[in-house]
Chains A and B, each alone.
Chain A
């Protein structure tokens, strides 16, 4: 009886822990969210420097890692969202990038022509809505992000280059989607997966996981059996 009670209490404590536990959030998440919503005035004219003179300028101005006030940004600007809104915001670790790249001119490639302006400005000051007829050569903010990030990640062979590397895939909660009996057998589980992921299922049938054949050196009786394998005799469990 006491054991039973103890078990119930344990379960209750566990349940309470699950209920109260929050998904971890960065301490400056709210601040980043607020910042992402801001739209700054458009910089019409920029100073057309080359990369080297730009770098020298930034070094002369004494821009260093200590000047990086925001550790990270959420790339979630309303300028992009007003056109297309499909993806969750991308987290951009600004300070980490600054420390690793160690060359601010790589992203802060031009500065505003206005001499009173700060040496560095945010992407969305110069890159706003796409296809602005007054500035046809200026790419939009979305393209600026993608070109800058992907090109550098490819060049440096570091960081994600595929879509889901930066954009979190919008995975719905499968608790609601998948309906399974209490103790499902493997066939039922696979069937439930294939209900939506049928193309993935078809792809799997073309891979070695489904088609492998050859001896199985660690299986008694099949050590020299060259006709062994899922492509030939071995049974699949579903």
Chain B
């Protein structure tokens, strides 16, 4: 079995959790999610794969024009990921759904940063270059970033990308949720503003959840009765509803617990009142003292003998 870097970190995290002894005094982990964040609801049944969102995103964020922007003929043949030149991409999936004429129906799925309520990238960032804003956006501050790329390892959706081509001033690149635009009243993210079919609904997260649940309830034959992102990794600002299973459109099955909960609990309990380092060095000190004592006894007769 091949162990990837990601698996290794996961295993080490789990191992750490199992050995960690939590002192009773440690505070229980609390969510740091903003109270009333913005969000987006992506309705995959509405997306027609026009890739206007990719175009708008590139324009708004000053990125290079997407590949083959006006031609949808071959672009969907490969499965793409957001990278350092594109914050969002649309992929096409044939999931076995057919129309009335037995013709396969494609499902288009947008990929971008999910802007988690409790982002694990923010927790993993050792210099605070990533922050969760009150708007709901996970913001990246290039002036603080040291380029360790822990965020890339940590992200459960594998979103942050890195400008490897730039050796002097590389940046971590990911969707900004158009933070500067949505901060202003009435401002919309570039992709939501241009979407012709309102696949992307922008609004307060709570409102969107209600809208999503209403849509699911009113069209039970169309939708899968699940709002992806309502509870996944503690909830995300971007949520999806779909007529096909979420795994088939590359939205991974994830636990409901916020990802930073485990790691932060371990870290905070290990270092509260410095009890763990004190214990560790105490034990080590005692062990060394014992070893030295034994050595002394063993070596002294030799000395006398010589």
Report which A residues bind B (CB closer than 8 A). Answer: 83-84, 130-131, 133, 136-137, 139-140, 142-143, 146-147, 150, 163, 199, 203
Contact = CB atoms under 8 A, between A and B. Distances in A.
A217 to B, nearest CB: 31
A147 B71 contact: no
A139 B48 contact: no
Contact of A131 (B71, B201, B215): B201
Contacts of A163: 50
A166 to B, nearest CB: 11
Nearest to B67: A199
Contacts of B207: 133, 136
B63 to A, nearest CB: 18
B149 interface: no
A203 B194 CA distance: 28
B198 A136 contact: no
A47 to B, nearest CB: 16
B241 to A, nearest CB: 13
Contact of B198 (A139, A199, A203): A139
A143 B50 contact: no
Nearest to A137: B211
A199 B68 contact: yes
A131 B197 contact: no
B192 interface: yes
Contact of A199 (B48, B71, B214): B71
A130 B198 CA distance: 8
A139 B197 CA distance: 9
Contact of A143 (B71, B198, B203): B198
Given A133-B207, A143-B46, A203-B73, 16 more contacts: A130-B192, A130-B193, A131-B202, A136-B211, A137-B215, A140-B198, A142-B196, A143-B195, A143-B197, A146-B196, A146-B197, A147-B46, A147-B197, A147-B198, A150-B197, A199-B71
Q: List 8 tightest A-B contacts by C-beta distance, closest first.
A: A143-B198, A146-B196, A146-B197, A136-B207, A131-B202, A139-B198, A136-B211, A83-B193
B71 A84 contact: no
B168 interface: no
A189 B210 CA distance: 58
A220 to B, nearest CB: 37
B214 A131 contact: no
Interface string B210-232: 11001100000000000000000
B89 interface: no
A59 B149 CA distance: 65
A27 B224 CA distance: 50
Contact of A84 (B46, B48, B194): B194
B98 to A, nearest CB: 14
B212 to A, nearest CB: 10
Given A136-B208, A136-B210, A83 B197 contact: no
A130 B201 CA distance: 8
B239 interface: no
A116 B27 CA distance: 62
Nearest to A130: B198
Contacts of B46: 143, 147
Nearest to B100: A155
B69 to A, nearest CB: 10
Contacts of A150: 48, 197
Given A83-B188, A136-B208, A142 B48 contact: no
5 contacts: A130-B193, A136-B207, A136-B208, A137-B215, A199-B71
Nearest to A200: B71
Nearest to A87: B196
B268 interface: no
A231 B173 CA distance: 43
B42 to A, nearest CB: 13
A133 B208 CA distance: 10
Contacts of B74: 203
Contacts of A137: 211, 214-215
B204 interface: yes
Among B48, B194, B202: residue with most chain A CB under 10 A:
B48
Given A83-B188, A143-B196, A136 B50 contact: no
Interface string B154-190: 0000000000000000000000000000000000100
B188 A131 contact: yes
B203 A133 contact: yes
A133 B36 CA distance: 14
Contacts of B71: 199, 203
